[in-house]
């Protein structure tokens, strides 16, 4: 069954994706829909908003691990940041 899109903005977006991917409009729309379906399914499996919280927590844990166990910033260090030479 054919799909007819009568929205100029959607048509322009399809043209842009077509030029970026070097494909046809049909293939660009197919890929965009497949990607959105996969993303929606993944979000539904992960619990949507709960997944965002967990990913954010995991991100901060990775940042802390990369930062190492440096010394905490004390008042003297913080004050030194505002001194002018």
Cβ neighbours around 23 below 10 Å, total? 14
Quote the pTM value. Answer: 0.51
pLDDT recorded at residue 37 = 93
Tell me the mean pLDDT in the region 39-52. 74
Rounded to whole angstroms, the Cα distance separating 30 from 28 reads 5
Cα 35 from chain centre: 13
Is residue 2 very low, low, confident or very high in pLDDT (cuts 50, 70, 90)?
Answer: confident
In this predicted structure, the answer to whether residue 24 has a pLDDT above a threshold of 80 is yes
Which has the higher per-residue pLDDT, 85 or 7?
7
- Min mean pLDDT across 14-23, 47-56, 69-78 is at 47-56
């Amino acid at each position: 069954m054919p799909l007819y899109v009568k929205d100029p903005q959607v048509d322009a977006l399809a043209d842009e994706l077509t030029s970026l991917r070097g494909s046809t409009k049909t293939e660009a729309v197919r890929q965009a829909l497949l990607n959105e379906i996969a993303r929606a399914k993944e979000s539904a499996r992960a619990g949507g908003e709960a997944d965002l919280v967990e990913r954010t927590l995991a991100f901060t844990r990775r940042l802390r691990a990369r930062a190492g166990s440096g010394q905490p910033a004390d008042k003297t260090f913080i004050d030194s940041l505002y001194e002018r030479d």
